[in-house]
Structure 1
Amino acid sequence: MALLPTMSNRHRPNTSETGKPSLPPRPAVELQRRGELRVEKFLEAATEVFNEKGYQAARLSDIVKRAGGSMATLYRAFGDKTGLVHALMERSIDSFGQSLDELMQSPLPPDEALEQAAYRMVEEILTPARIACHRVVISEGMRLPELRDWFQAHGVEPMEALLNEYFQRETEAGRLYVEDPDRSAHLFYMMVIGGLILRSVNGRMSPDDVPHAKQQARLAVRLFLSGVLPRT
């Protein structure tokens, strides 16, 4: 029985449309139900250790010591340290994707809907788990290109694709005027969270800074909307 939820299809890139080869998924977890709590503790401990020591210096023995359990259980659940990072990424990607799922389903006008989505994006970006993921991707991207590309293909491109779809829909409905939805999706994404990613990775921002980050996100949404609201 798989303990860790796999990412829903809505957050997976459509390789037939992108033309990119699909990347290999993280090995499936094969533990019994009684091991679920232990797996959760492994993920919590891994988040702490990766944030404190970085990916290279983090040892699986440190994670096991902090979480309890055994090295054998950790290996059976995640395979290795890279598999553990994959599991953290999957969790964060699913959580982050919920903010854009809600945007797609929102009955609110674009200014309110985008502001709410931006707040949710900020909340997830500044979670300890997401910060750990970004630190690994940025610091180890050159050495672990498959991990870096997996995160980009599963954690970034599908989110921008949802924004692209939203901007197209709202433009067709006459509520927005977005000339290039694809590029605008990337710009909106980076305006809201690009700076937060850098500052959280280098330690200048933490989960305690969510209120301030939301103020910045609100301004980013307003600046973006000033360029895409319908002309009268």
Structure 2
Amino acid sequence: MRPSSPPLMLFAAGLGTRMGALTADCPKPLIRVAGRPLIDHALALADGAGVTRIVANTHYLAPRMEAHLAPRGVAISRESPRILETGGGLKAALPLLGSDPVLTLNTDAVWTGANALTQLIEGWDGARMDGLLLLLPAAKATGHGGTGDFVMRPDGRLDRARGAAGFVYLGAQILRTGALADISDEVFSLNLLWDRMIAEGRLHGLIHDGGWCDVGRPEGIVLAENLLGGAA
């Protein structure tokens, strides 16, 4: 039997500046890839994983994002006047999420293979973990440059790659949020939380069983559609 799903935070507040003219009047999560908005690809993962409580943060062109999400019953955490980054955004949304741990998912990527959120739910072990990140080797992360974000120990615990060939974080994770209360900043990255988990040996990684493509730049749209087409 599949474990019950934690609530899900969708990160959808970004300005999408790397997309250039494509985001002049369109939030990046609404850019269409393979016939549907990027955020709908994320919502399909949520549906497949049985997620019932979803929260999305909004900022840039927030009314358009919120109108798109309204029919799905997605709760909105609007960030104004400034974007709070991943850590601040998640902390601000905690009252809407309602329980711990939580899933988080970026909305600027597409996936093939096993459902990313289901893998995290099934791989979660709260006795050993405070965070579980979905990863791929850098060479298999389509649309991503660089050598990777993390290296993984044999038991699955993560350390920073620090220039070594490693694994790319794919923007999908499950994590405990209690330590967010100890961070007084309003605007901050979840990297602060990850570094604390690494120091305590509580941040783990899981290799995604499938493909992934970052759609952070215009050229990522073609790469993503080729990936999805090859998986059909």
- Could you tell me the TM-score, scaled by structure 2's length? 0.26
Higher CA-based Rg: 1
Greater share of helix: 1
Task: Kindly indicate whether structure 1 or structure 2 has the higher relative contact order, using CA contacts under 8 Å at least 6 residues apart.
Answer: 2
- Could you tell me the TM-score, scaled by structure 1's length? 0.26
Greater share of strand: 2
